[in-house]
Amino acid sequence: MAPHHVLKCCQRSLAWIPVIFINLVVGWSYYAYVVELCIFTIPNNAEKISYLVVFHLFFIMFIWSYWKTICSRPASPSKEFCLAKVEKEQYEKEQSDAQQDILKKAAIGLPVYTRTGTGAVRYCEHCQVIKPDRCHHCSTCDMCVLKMDHHCPWVNNCVGFSNYKFFVLFLAYSMLYCVFIAATVLQYFIKFWTNQLPDTHAKFHVLFLFFVAAMFFISILSLFSYHLWLVGKNRTTIEAFRAPVFRNGPDKNGFSLGFSRNVVEVFGDQKKYWMFPIYTSNLEGILSESEQDVHMIGKIYKSIQLTKTIGTKTEK
């Protein structure tokens, strides 16, 4: 049997296949649109230039957001969520009930409000950390990821706190890229299909380009719409399928602050930067990303608890 590290290396190499595939498709689409359509097929210079300008605008934003999603390292819990050496040694010696007592004591000073389905403190045995709220362990990345949404094979990375904005922008710009190609290629697709244009080497590229762009647009549209809905609700994909459990029970809207504030949590409070794949968190820049996530969740939970308290007093 091959050594474990060799198998891990093979898995990591194979994980890049979807990314390579996407880049090959995008590379071909660039050639087909710029060379075969604009240079060899479109006769009007004004139309050709206007198409190229808009196309390159969408292309740059699409590639920028895509590679930002790929290259952004997932944020992991800070050291304060690790058990102290004495607590860790004691935890490993005890049984399940006693282990929970140790975790509860360790979590007292931490802004941790969610629990497991059985009401226990969420603890990762692999990373040996108390999980912050919305944090989950990714078996593919082999680490705990803050505000984990899902592991995406098309970017070979976990989508979470550090790159969720980039991922949403990647979906948006890839959709715009596809719909622009399909819309501008359509008239030449019809002309080639009905033999109004002569058979040239550009015919195959133009016909296939329209089908590929339309197919990708339809598939991305549904995914983009779903993630816009998640942003508006301040939920992750994991939380959409399984409501987070708080001390007083599960609450699917436990992290929602209202639509506008939910959007700000992802895109930041400076609207002029929303369309760019750059980090624009509305939290204090002096904190690390993991600390920012903890700080954000603490503010959210306090706001929720205050609202519930006021509501209870009003009813009385």
Torsion of CA 138, 140, 142, 148, to 10 degrees: -20
Provide the pLDDT for residue 193: 93
Confirm whether 152 is a catalytic residue.
yes
For 238-266, what is each residue's pLDDT tens digit? 999 999 999 889 999 999 999 999 999 99
Provide the pLDDT for residue 314: 41
Paired with 145 in beta bridges are 136
**Mean pLDDT, the chain, integer:** 88
Provide the pLDDT for residue 95: 84
Catalytic residue among 138, 141, 144, 152: 152
Collapsed DSSP state (helix, strand, coil) of residue 273: helix
Q: What is the spatial distance between Cα 16 and Cα 10, in angstroms, rounded to a whole number?
A: 10
The CA-to-CA distance between both ends of the chain, in Å, stands at: 68
Provide the pLDDT for residue 138: 95
Provide the pLDDT for residue 158: 96
Torsion of CA 301, 306, 312, 316, to 10 degrees: 170
Q: Identify whether the C-beta of residue 184 lies closer than 8 Å to the C-beta of residue 209.
A: no
Provide the pLDDT for residue 315: 46
Provide the pLDDT for residue 1: 45
SS3 content of the chain, % helix, strand, coil (to 5): 60, 10, 30
Nearest Cα to Cα of residue 159 among 263, 168, 290, 295:
168
Provide the pLDDT for residue 246: 92
Residues of the chain whose pLDDT is less than 50?
1, 283-316
